[in-house]
Structure 1
Amino acid sequence: MTGQTTYADWIAVDWGTTHLRAWAMVGGQPKAEATSADGMGTLDRDGFEPALLRLIEPWLGGTKIRVVACGMVGARQGWVEAPYVSVPAQPSQLGPVPAPCQDPRLDVLVVPGLSQSEPADVMRGEETQIAGFLAQMPDFDGVLCLPGTHAKWARISAEEVVSFQTCMTGEMFQLLADQSVLRHSVSGKDMDAEAFAEAVDDTISKPERLAQRLFSLRAQNVLHGLGAAQARGRLSGYLIGAELAATKPYWLGQDVAIAGSPALAAAYEAALKQQGVVPRVFDAGPLTRAGLARVYAALTENA
């Protein structure tokens, strides 16, 4: 964070479980950025406002400024609970909820998440990424995949999220790679692309064998010296393959886009191409900020 005073006419905030990120905004353009480790998981309800002030104090003047925030700040354990909005819903028109502020300079609004009754599902934070994606692709009619800790597949039409599905693929990978018996076999960061591709096809064709295939990574390492890069590639391929098997109604025969970090988006792109789907790929980095700008613009237009 910089200590230099920066002019802003509003502030965008992405508040997750582990990190807080803010941008000083003029219109739709960021003029400064600041981050801290004051995620939702480290704070009680009274700690949110002080954490935000520590981060954005150099951007504040003597008058009230609007802050538009998304993410876990709106969870039940957050600053204020922003109730989920049921799909179908337009991500840029969700009606942010005001958070209680002691500092008279702050006007904090928190964007709600989205929910789906059947099958039961929720998202919080990704709806703002989708709003940012639609700012670039307003005519998109298809399925957007947001890979990550909890990967989201959202069916979009007429700028609305019609339905969505969540898979815990990223969290499962981290748990298995870091805390299970497989940690001894998949150490390091290298990942064999050929092993990944073979594992994707294997799991899509035989998803019922996933649990057995996972332990076989350990056995093959012990008995046959399977290398860590190959084992890590297979672990990723097995899990992403299982996700594609579960989400087949979403991507089969659809216009598919992927928005994620470059490395993760590339893995999903490769897996989908093996199934005959050629997705469009976007960097998810700027999407949350762009989505918050869209929400702010909608609030300004409706004022």
Structure 2
Amino acid sequence: MIAVDWGTSSLRVFRLAGDGRIIDSRHSDNGVLAAAGRFEQVLVEQIDGWDDALIVMTGMVGSRQGWHEVPYVDCPAGLDEIAAGMQRLQSHRLQGRDIWITPGLSARRSGDLHDLMRGEETQVCGLLEDLPPGEHYLCLAGTHSKHVRVADGRITALSTLMTGEMYEVLCQHSILGRLMQPGPHHEAVFKKGVDLAAAGNDLLADLFAVRTQGVLGYVNAAWLQSYLSGILIGHELNVIPAGTRSVHLVASSSLQLPYRTALARRGFNVVVHAESCAARGLHALAARRGLAGVAAT
């Protein structure tokens, strides 16, 4: 089986054994935005030499801007509901392959407000078999971080925090970025930002502290990015419900350290999971759907 995690800015493909073990993997920057209008060609090139009959894809490839739009499934939802929402895709250049795309998830916040995720739910599916019965809290860090609640194997609620995108916008297109100079991550300054966010002030007020601390010389210009990162991640963590003790973290190698640091500083027990849990999730969904060549889990 070939598992495809196709996001907005990146494409990751995994070749899996029948039991879900990762045999091989490849990565490229041909995300949905870069591959627009040529999805078939990009996938053919990415899996060149892999002759597996089954291909299962997740992420923005199933969005309105992707290859084929697959409707959202309402929460609460577990493997059964998500697998039932998968749709088959026809491909001229991949004739003879059995190609599927998974749905995203929709959760009601309040009134007519909803939250959405597409791709991250597959990462959660890859963790479900490792989570004991009961309630669990997950943080999937990224450009748009997802905070997910799981109860007895089902996703019951989710929220989206635009932490990563806000960081990029403020660094590149705001007055805050004009003070910044390139520099390595500074853990002590990062923690100061996390602590400021925990004080209960408004985010918009805390953001201007990046400028004041830089102008007045309290924070070196090369460390202002770390300070801003701490403030934004710290405010993201403010949404975690009181009484939560453990947080399951899924993050890339570049985000794992700051998120682990921030969560630990807030007193949470942090359980770290690899991003490859998306491949496990696709295998679990394929097995639940009963697709050929996939061993039941």
TM-score by length of 1: 0.85
Q: How does 1:90-169 map to 2 (within 5 A)?
A: 90-91=78-79, 93-94=81-82, 95=84, 96-102=86-92, 103-119=94-110, 120-139=114-133, 141-169=135-163
CA 105–37 in structure 1, closer or farther in 2 if over 3 Å, else same:
farther
The alignment partner of 2:148 has SS state of: strand
Matched, 1:239 2:232: yes
1:291 to partner: Cα distance: 0.9
CA 143–186 in structure 1, closer or farther in 2 if over 3 Å, else same:
same
Does the Cα contact within 8 Å between 1:150 and 1:169 map onto a contact in 2? yes
- Which amino acid is 1:40 matched to? V
Q: How does 1:1-303 map to 2 (within 5 A)?
A: 10-27=1-18, 28-45=20-37, 47-60=38-51, 65-91=53-79, 93-94=81-82, 95=84, 96-102=86-92, 103-119=94-110, 120-139=114-133, 141-208=135-202, 210-224=203-217, 226-245=219-238, 247-249=239-241, 252-283=243-274, 285-300=275-290
Whole-angstrom distance in 1 between the partners of 2:178 and 2:139: 31
Structure 2, unmatched stretches of 5+, are none
Does the Cα contact within 8 Å between 1:97 and 1:110 map onto a contact in 2? yes
Structure 1, unmatched stretches of 5+, are 1-9
Query: How many residues end up aligned between the 2 structures?
Result: 286
CA 33–263 in structure 1, closer or farther in 2 if over 3 Å, else same:
closer
The Cα offsets for residues 217-258 of structure 1, whole Å up to 9 and x where unpaired, read as: 22332342731343222211211221122x132x63343221
Does the Cα contact within 8 Å between 1:91 and 1:128 map onto a contact in 2? no
1:50 to partner: Cα distance: 2.1
The Cα offsets for residues 14-49 of structure 1, whole Å up to 9 and x where unpaired, read as: 11122222222221123232333332112345x222
Whole-angstrom distance in 2 between the partners of 1:12 and 1:31: 11
Whole-angstrom distance in 2 between the partners of 1:260 and 1:92: 26
Whole-angstrom distance in 2 between the partners of 1:108 and 1:43: 18
CA 133–188 in structure 1, closer or farther in 2 if over 3 Å, else same:
farther
The alignment partner of 1:145 has SS state of: strand
TM-score by length of 2: 0.87
The alignment partner of 1:17 has SS state of: coil
Percent identity for Structure 1 against Structure 2: 34
Whole-angstrom distance in 1 between the partners of 2:133 and 2:161: 26
1:280 to partner: Cα distance: 1.9
Whole-angstrom distance in 2 between the partners of 1:276 and 1:29: 34
Larger RCO of the pair (alpha carbons < 8 Å, separation 6+) = 2
Whole-angstrom distance in 2 between the partners of 1:272 and 1:33: 30
